């Protein structure tokens, strides 16, 4: 009898232990399920985020490729994102959308609904995954103005417009590898305006973008300087009065001044200037199919002087109008309001361009491109950058204008 009671007690103890163990095991199993679910959810969200990142970059590149308008970039990017995570579709209901934003960026948004444990009761309706990516491309429009400043103290001053000055560059990109500043009543109007650092001031249309990707020097591999070209001395030349003269292409070792009512015609070809080319009074400078290369000085157009120039149509400098060597940091100055035609590319890799005329500059050019270390606008100057590339007779150099490579760089902004 005693043995039966002890045996019964041992059975009861084993039953109680099994019950306690079972009760303890239920919460532990739930915890394990939750941990597994959370790990799977995090992995799936990471996969969807990678998909929209890739799709945004692909969509931005699609916008930059010539002829890409033949297909819908938004539809292309949305399909691209889904294809990256198609293997998730059996357990996640996914949808993706894409669009080009007004500021030129490209955005892809994704949403996924994933079933959860306990019949979607925790959380109610299942897990919702939201992902988003924004990418930008540099070359959505022709590039017509590029400032490439070097550090000046703590400042990278690339483009500054002040007083009542204006830059009018409709339908093309105005970009600074540094800061852009508008002050006073100055305005910059362009297709896109962007700076790698900050764009301060209010005179922008459209709103300028800060934090853009830097654009490299498109002509960094070009050799400009002619070795030993300026070793010989030559007397300076002054054209004055009502003189009309023609200057043949070649190396011009002395300084040249055109003043009074004199007119200097540049013959077609490459003109290599060892000293300053100065226009003052009502002096006139004209030339077609020319490039002006400045060795260690620059162009100074002051007073009521007139300039009408068309860049090279053939040769190594086809598409270029004015070029400064990398050794010169002399300012190219346009103070005259009668500089009507500057058709071609102005390339000043280490020199600034200052336009402080009291009127409109370059408005008669079919197209112009400016690539300079720094660009400064002042007084009432109005610099017009046209983009009528077709039929100009002057080819656009690779890397600027509408002659951009198809592999335009892109980056994620968010």
Q: What mean pLDDT is predicted for residues 123-141? A: 81
Q: SS3 for 77?
A: helix
pLDDT value of residue 64: 63
Measured CA to CA, the distance from residue 80 to residue 97 in angstroms comes to 10
pLDDT, tens digit, for every residue of 248-281? 999 999 999 999 999 999 999 999 999 999 999 9
Q: What pLDDT, on the 0 to 100 scale, is given for residue 65? A: 52
Average pLDDT across the chain, whole number: 88
- C-beta atoms surrounding 151 within 10 Å: 9
* Lowest-confidence segment of 20-29, 68-77, 397-406 by average pLDDT: 20-29
Alpha helices in 65-131 (DSSP H): 73-84, 117-120
Closest by CA to 148, choosing from 181, 177, 174, 179, is 177
Per-residue pLDDT, 251: 97
| CA pair distance 211, 207, nearest whole angstrom | 13
The beta strand positions in 215-312, using DSSP E, are 237-239, 244-247, 250-252, 256-258, 263-266, 269-273, 277-279, 284-287, 290-294, 299-301, 306-310
In the chain, what percentage of residues exceed pLDDT 70?
A: 85
Q: How confident is the model at residue 105 (pLDDT cuts 50, 70, 90)?
A: confident
Domains defined along the chain, listed by start: 14-136 (3.10.450), 143-384 (no CATH)
Q: Is the pLDDT of residue 42 over 70?
A: yes
Average confidence (pLDDT) over 29-39:
74
Indicate whether 67 pLDDT > 50.
no
Q: How confident is the model at residue 126, as a pLDDT? A: 82
> In the 3-class helix/strand/coil scheme, how is 364-402 assigned residue by residue?
CCCEEEEEEEEEEECCCCEEECCECCCCCCCCCCCCCEC
What is the distance between the alpha carbons of residues 363 and 269, in angstroms, rounded to a whole number? 24
- The pLDDT of residue 8 is 45
Cα-based torsion angle of the residue sequence 80, 86, 89, 91 in order, rounded to the nearest 10 degrees:
-130
Q: Does residue 69 have a pLDDT over 70?
A: no
Amino acid 37: pLDDT = 78
Q: Give the pLDDT mean for 166-177.
A: 95
- The whole-number pLDDT of residue 374 equals 97
How large a percentage of the chain has pLDDT more than 90? 67
Question: Who wins on pLDDT, 365 or 70?
Answer: 365
216 CB neighbour count, 10 Å cutoff = 11
* 207 or 11, greater pLDDT: 207
Average pLDDT on 154-173 reads 92
pLDDT reported for residue 36: 79
Q: Which range among 7-16, 204-213, 216-225 shows the weakest confidence by mean pLDDT?
A: 7-16
Give me the pLDDT at residue 117, please. Answer: 64
Is the model's pLDDT at 20 over the cut of 50? no
SS3 label, residue 263:
strand
Confidence of residue 215 (pLDDT cuts 50, 70, 90): confident
B/e letters for 313-337, b = 16+ CB within 10 Å, e = fewer, are: beeebbbbbbbbbeebbbbbbbbbb
pLDDT of residue 23: 42
The SS3 of residue 138 is: coil
**Does the pLDDT value for residue 52 go beyond 90?**
yes
In 3D, which of 113, 127, 117, 91 has the Cα closest to residue 30?
A: 117
């Amino acid at each position: 009898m005693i043995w039966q009671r002890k045996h019964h007690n041992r059975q009861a103890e084993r039953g109680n232990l099994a019950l306690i163990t079972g009760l303890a095991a239920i919460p532990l199993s739930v915890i394990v399920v939750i941990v597994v679910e959370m790990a799977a959810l995090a992995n799936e969200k990471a996969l969807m985020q990678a998909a929209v990142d890739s799709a945004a970059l692909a969509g931005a590149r699609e916008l930059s490729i010539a002829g890409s308008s033949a297909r819908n970039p938004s539809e292309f990017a949305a399909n691209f994102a889904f294809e990256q995570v198609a293997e998730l579709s059996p357990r996640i209901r996914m949808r993706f959308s894409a669009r080009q934003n007004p500021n030129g960026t490209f955005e892809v948004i994704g949403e996924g609904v994933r079933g959860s444990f306990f019949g979607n009761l925790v959380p109610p309706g299942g897990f919702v995954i939201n992902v988003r990516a924004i990418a930008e491309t540099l070359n959505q429009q022709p590039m017509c103005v590029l400032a490439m400043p070097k550090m000046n103290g703590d400042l990278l001053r690339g483009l500054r417009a002040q007083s009542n000055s204006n830059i009018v560059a409709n339908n093309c990109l105005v970009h600074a590898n540094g800061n852009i500043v508008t002050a006073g009543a100055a305005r910059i109007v362009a297709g896109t305006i962007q700076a790698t650092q900050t764009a301060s001031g209010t005179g922008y249309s459209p709103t300028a973008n800060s934090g853009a990707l830097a654009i490299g020097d498109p002509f960094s591999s070009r050799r400009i300087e002619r070795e030993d070209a300026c070793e010989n001395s030559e007397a300076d030349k002054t054209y004055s009065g009502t003189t009309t003269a023609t200057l043949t292409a070649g190396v011009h070792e002395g300084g040249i001044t055109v003043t009074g009512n004199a007119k200097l015609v540049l013959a077609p070809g490459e003109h290599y200037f060892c000293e300053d080319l100065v226009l003052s009074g009502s002096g006139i400078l004209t030339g077609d199919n020319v490039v002006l290369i400045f060795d260690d000085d620059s162009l100074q157009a002051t007073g009521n002087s007139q300039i009408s120039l068309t860049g090279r149509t053939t040769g190594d400098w086809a598409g270029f109008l004015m070029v400064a060597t990398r050794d010169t940091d002399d300012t190219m100055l346009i103070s005259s309001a009668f500089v009507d035609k500057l058709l071609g590319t102005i390339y000043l890799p280490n020199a600034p361009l200052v336009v402080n005329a009291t009127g409109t500059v370059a408005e008669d050019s079919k197209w112009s491109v400016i690539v300079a270390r720094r660009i400064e606008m002042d007084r009432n100057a109005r610099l017009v950058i046209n983009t009528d590339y077709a039929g100009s007779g002057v080819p656009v150099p690779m890397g600027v204008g509408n002659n951009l490579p198809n592999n335009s760089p892109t980056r994620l902004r968010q």
